[in-house]
Amino acid sequence: MARSARAYTAHSIETRDLAVQPDATPSHPGLHEPTALAQGVTCGPWWLAFPFSWARSVVDDFELTEVPHAPPWLAGAANVDGRVIPVFDLVRYLDPTQPPPTGPGALLLVGGEGEHSAAILFRGLPATARPMAGLAPPDTPAGLAEFVIGAATDNRGQAWALVDADALMEALSAELALA
């Protein structure tokens, strides 16, 4: 069974942000609004941020179960907190020739609720990102562009493409149903 060894919530991120940025005050715009923060993950060369209204946890200890006859971008299914959820590989969805990012260092970003739960496979350390109005999102492939709803930045100034996770998961599920 997978465990959520590093579960990040809006509250825990808020505490960490204040510890890292002692000059931040509770009156900082959006600091207490969970939807104002996003979980940034790198999927291949793309810096993607998923709002905490969707992102629930990061899982580092999991086993993928192969799904027979699935497209290559469905990395498999994983048991997370007693629920079996689909695991999507956005890198392979956007470029099927890419190798899967499995093995040591692979992580899952788990999001959604109930039967709409899903995970995104990624590598590297996740980061907290704050949506920024007027900031242009970094380049994303055409297949993902329709789901980019803005941009976010982390405390190092890295720009992240803010993704409408619900719409993306709905599109992936619909495409999977046709496969």
10-25+33-178, what's its fold? Answer: OB fold (Dihydrolipoamide Acetyltransferase, E2P) (2.40.50)
DSSP strand pairing (148-153 vs 118-131): antiparallel
101: Cα separation from own chain's centroid: 14
Q: What is the pLDDT of residue 101?
A: 66
Q: CA angle at residue 154 from 150 to 158, to 5 degrees?
A: 80
pLDDT in tens, 58-90: 999 999 999 999 999 999 999 999 999 999 999
Q: Which of 178, 149, 141 minimizes the C-alpha distance to 166?
A: 149
Q: How far apart are CA 77 and CA 8, in angstroms?
A: 21
- pTM (2 d.p.): 0.78
CB 126 within 8 A of CB 157: no
Lowest mean pLDDT among 12-16, 94-98, 114-118: 12-16
In the chain, % of residues over pLDDT 90: 70
